[in-house]
Structure 1
Amino acid sequence: MSGWNILCDFDGTISVEDVIDSLLDRFGRPGWEALESDWRAGRIGSRECMTGQVALLDMDRQALDHHLDGMWIDHAFPDFVSRARDLHVPVRVVSDGLDYAIHRILGRYGLDDLPLAANHLAPGTPPQRWQLSSPFQAEGCRSGTCKCACVEQARASGATRTLLIGDGASDFCAADRVDFVFAKHRLIEHCRHAGIPYVPITGFEDALELLPALLDGSLLAGTAPQLATLAGA
């Protein structure tokens, strides 16, 4: 065993675009934008925001599945998972998104067996309505999925070090608690300003190249030659 485990965000990290945003743009009834504004202003947490937004979706299961079947993931993610498994590094998807959507999208790539922590999407009444629950929430956390709790679960399971791969605000808190971060987009600035050990990546091609250096310790020591060539470095 490597002693490492990997927690990986889904929306905007594994997936090319944010699933809930795309669903709201296409199927959202009026009112979801106001919830989004309240969340961005910090007046509500992501769990409250998404619970309200999911309740405003107007689509049946067939329309949902058709939409999800047109969504894509980073082309190098399957190879990254395969390489991590070869190196005996567990990968868990930790997302403040929708479990049904993640399973369906990853299923097209044969990856729906990856362990997952995410919000639960269930049909409501009538059939074109939907409801959200958050089985991975934690007391005092306003997110639907508490990624900090996922970090603690990884440690409790015997992992000595945790790598977080993410891109945005839902990853900020967990980034403070892990041993290293592969960061995209807004998470790069957060790690830089907070002094969190990280490397910027543009996608899983970078992550695949960097994984061996993480495991042999050269990445943590700042000696990996790839650091000089990555975007944003």
Structure 2
Amino acid sequence: MKIALVVDFDGTVTEEDVGVGLLNTFSLEDWHLYERLYVSGSISLRDCLAGEYTTLPADESMLTQHAVSTTAIRKGYHEFVEHCGNQKWPILIVSGGLDFYIRAILDNNGLFGQQFVSGHAVFSGRERVLVQWDTEPYSCVKSGTCKCHYVERMTAAGYSVVFVGDGITDTCAVDKAAYVFARQRLASYCEENDIKFHHFNTFFEIQELLSSMANGSKH
């Protein structure tokens, strides 16, 4: 089986949601306002995420230092990346978070060169963070980063795509993936919508099951 992986970052590769941690610590106003507007249907998820991040001060050094010092990588991820490399299974991190902290956290944990797609944070000449999303036609209108596009692209290239995630920005991808590993809000979404998935707490569990699948075992 030819496998490729599309993996969320905040709360999936990491133990906690990094973006939420930054908002809780440094937000200059009530960032929950944007979440309430999203829940009420007044704004899209994409506008919600961008609005939340605009409550952060444009101090890249401070935000990066906090993100790196307070973030733990989920158990088994290092070993999982090594295993996927040995099996020639490509991994792409696709995140509704921001590039500056994703790259810093990956590098700080020795995960150099991992490919990822995310929002781009603009700091220069600003008092607040500005978020820029991908402007390609395939970008989700409602979400920040179009995760389903990357699942579809890898599927078209002949891969059985495995999606791994935990939150509301991951819901568009689970309908497109061949296999889904989910936790927390994404797991609840899959249950409510009768989408088959495997629950996970560590990447050791994902590695074990994928290895069995690749070897032809039935689960």
Regarding TM over 0.5, the answer is: yes
CA RMSD, Structure 1 to Structure 2 (Å):
1.8
What TM-score do you get using the length of structure 1 for normalisation?
0.86
- Give SS of 2:161's match: strand
Q: Matches of residues 183-198 of structure 1 in structure 2 within 5 Å?
A: 183-198=182-197
Give how far 1:41 is off.
Answer: 3.1
Contact kept? 1:27, 1:59, Cα under 8 Å: no
Is 2:30 the counterpart of 1:28?
Answer: no
Per-residue CA deviation, residues 164-218 of structure 1 (Å, 9 max, x unaligned), is: 0111111111101110111111222222333323211112121122220132242
Alignment of 1:116-155 (within 5 A): 116-126=116-126, 128-135=127-134, 138=138, 141-155=141-155
**In the aligned structure 2, how far is the partner of 1:168 from the partner of 1:140?**
16
Deviation of the 1:59 alpha carbon: 4.9
The structure that is helix-richer by fraction is 2
Moved more, 199-208 or 52-61: 52-61
Report the CA distance between 1:55 and its aligned residue. Answer: 1.8
- Partner of residue 104, structure 1: 104
> Which residue identity does 1:196 align to in structure 2?
I
- Aligned partners of 1:104 and 1:112 also within 8 Å: no
CA contact 1:118–1:136 (8 Å) conserved in 2: no
Equivalent residue of 1:73, what SS? coil
In structure 2, what is the Cα distance between the partners aligned to 1:83 and 1:60?
37
Distance (whole Å) between structure 2 residues aligned to residue 196 and residue 149 of structure 1: 19
Q: Give the gaps of 5 or more residues in structure 1.
A: 223-233
Tell me the CA shift for residue 107 of structure 1: 0.7
Q: Taking every aligned residue pair, what percent have the same amino acid on both sides?
A: 31
Alpha-carbon separation, structure 2, partners of 1:23 and 1:6 = 27
TM-score, normalization by structure 2: 0.91
Match of 2:38 in 1: 39
Query: How far does residue 17 in structure 1 lie from its aligned partner after superposition?
Result: 1.1
Residues 129 and 19 of structure 1: CA distance in aligned 2, closer, same or farther (over 3 Å): same
Whether 2:169 is the aligned partner of 1:170: answer: yes
Write the letter of the residue equivalent to 1:214.
Answer: M
CA distance in 2, matches of 1:133, 1:50: 11
- State the shift of 1:124 in Å: 4.2
* Maintained 8 Å contact 2:68/2:101: no
Query: What is the aligned partner in structure 2 of residue 76 from structure 1?
Result: 76
Count of paired positions: 217
Residues in 2 aligned to 1:161 and 1:78: alpha-carbon distance in whole angstroms = 22
Question: Relative to structure 1, is the Cα distance of residues 161 and 13 closer, same or farther in structure 2, using a 3 angstrom cutoff?
Answer: same
Question: Given the alignment of the two structures, is residue 53 of structure 1 paired with residue 39 of structure 2, yes or no?
Answer: no
